[in-house]
Amino acid sequence: MTNLEVVCVDDDEFMLKAIGRLVRRLRPEWRFLLLHDPMRWQEDLAASGLEHPAIFISDLLMPKKRGDELLDEVKGYLPESIRVLLTGDTTQELPQKAHSYAHFVLPKPFTQEDFEHLFLCAERLHKMPFNSECRKKLCALSGLPVLPNTVQELQAVIASPNCDMHLMAEVISHEPSLVARIFQIANSSYFGFRRHTDSLPEAVSRLGATLIETIAVSLLTQISHHRVSPSQHKQVAERALQVSSVARLIAKKMDYNRRDQDKVFVASLLTSIGTLLVLEEGATLENVKTFLGLQEGYCDHHVVAAYLLILWGYDIDIGDIILCQSHIDFLSQDETVIFGSIAGLACIVEKLKTEAQIEKLAERLPESVGNVLLELTPLLLETS
């Protein structure tokens, strides 16, 4: 059982008590500190006995100190804490403005589901194999992106009881770049459909909800782009699509089911978000694996991607697959390691341009995996 510590600051004592009742009902084993004076939060925290708050929640509009100012202080004082802004401001612009100091923006009035999602993400992050120094660096990243409105609308449709492909297609239709990318993938030879389609509902049906959501996240996620040029962003996105398509093809050829094929595709494609964020921090494509020095044994862009996706509510196994990409081991008994190995192998394969190069790589792999690669060689070279 993961027992975490949570701090909440709100000058409205009635709101504070309501939050206290809710969080104690959801996680009775956790330790909570409820503070009503934003000017004394450091002193009150020091006196409370809490040592490592995993979550720090602050109301936005308080007369003595605004929540954005307070969370900016928390960012330096408690670098490992997940920072949460609680606000009645429902304008679409606020989450975009808040990304520099808050990981989450929760609405007022809040729901039990809002806090359950937050706590679940915190628990998943706590289980990830990140050391303290790595967690501090991750929480201090300056420009973590937020999910755009179209992605959130799409996720809501997918989660609804009456979700269907026509509703998904309706949401997607307002984003021309997303429509184009979905047609590109749905008609790709990697996916093996015999007939070309120009029907958006049919393309959505071919790919399914999981892949549609992933494609939307990878394409529409808003990154600040102070350092990454549009051409470099396109280069990263196009390579990620190619790599993830190869990864899914390998998984299919290794006889994994559709769900597992999709899982490999999702982890592989969304790794590109980590790449873009590390580039935004000042890295180049040549040193994106080591630029931040996050944690020994893992690539920086893999760590950042896994961290961000868990923050967004993805299952922990997607983060684990992303982290396993740099350690290819097809003899492992752990399926997550195998899926990560498939994604890692796809990264290598995508760069190969000749049959001889693929054959040389196949010789270094277990025979069954090498044979899969050799069988796929004509298609890999045709689409490279």
pLDDT per residue, tens digit, the chain (384 aa), is 578 999 999 999 899 999 999 999 999 999 999 999 999 999 999 999 998 899 999 999 898 899 999 999 999 899 889 999 998 865 555 556 677 788 888 888 888 988 998 999 999 999 999 998 999 899 888 767 777 778 888 988 888 887 788 889 999 998 998 999 999 999 988 888 878 999 999 999 999 999 999 999 988 887 766 788 888 888 999 999 999 999 999 999 999 999 999 999 999 999 999 999 999 899 999 999 999 999 999 999 999 999 999 988 888 999 999 999 989 999 999 999 999 999 999 999 999 999 999 999 999 999 999 999 999 999 988 876
Give the pair of three-digit tokens for residue 209. Answer: 């909800």
The alpha helices in the chain, defined as continuous H runs, are: 13-26, 41-48, 67-77, 93-98, 112-127, 132-139, 149-159, 165-172, 176-186, 200-220, 230-253, 258-280, 300-311, 316-324, 335-349, 355-363, 367-383
Q: What is the pLDDT of residue 96?
A: 60
Same domain, 161 and 214: yes
Would 378 be classed as within a structural domain? no
132-168 burial code (b ≥16 CB/10 A, e <16): eebbebbbebeebbbbbebbebbbebbeeeeeebebb
Would 57 be classed as within a structural domain? yes
Cα–Cα distance, 244 to 200 (Å, whole number): 21
Give the pair of three-digit tokens for residue 383. Answer: 């689409």
265, 211 contact by CB (below 8 A): yes
Cα–Cα distance, 295 to 311 (Å, whole number): 18
- Say how many residues make up the chain: 384
In the DSSP assignment, the letter for residue 230 is H
Cα–Cα distance, 87 to 357 (Å, whole number): 56
C-alpha closest to that of 6 among 62, 64, 86, 97: 86
In the DSSP assignment, the letter for residue 174 is T
Same domain, 74 and 23: yes
Would 175 be classed as within a structural domain? yes
Would 141 be classed as within a structural domain? no
Same domain, 94 and 9: yes
Query: Which range of residues forms the domain containing residue 41?
Result: 5-127
Same domain, 81 and 159: no
Would 329 be classed as within a structural domain? no
Please say which residue of 222, 244, 261 terminates a domain: 222
Q: Is 363 exposed, middle or buried (0-12, 13-18, 19+ CB in 10 A)?
A: exposed
Q: What is the pLDDT of residue 64?
A: 86
Cα 255 to chain center, whole Å?
A: 27
Would 384 be classed as within a structural domain? no
Same domain, 107 and 150: no
Same domain, 23 and 101: yes
Amino acid residing at 80: E
Same domain, 83 and 151: no
Same domain, 41 and 76: yes
Q: What is the pLDDT of residue 219?
A: 87
221, 273 contact by CB (below 8 A): yes
Please say which residue of 202, 222, 242 terminates a domain: 222
Residue 35 sits in a domain whose CATH number is 3.40.50.2300
pTM over 0.75: yes
Would 244 be classed as within a structural domain? no
Number of domains in the chain: 2
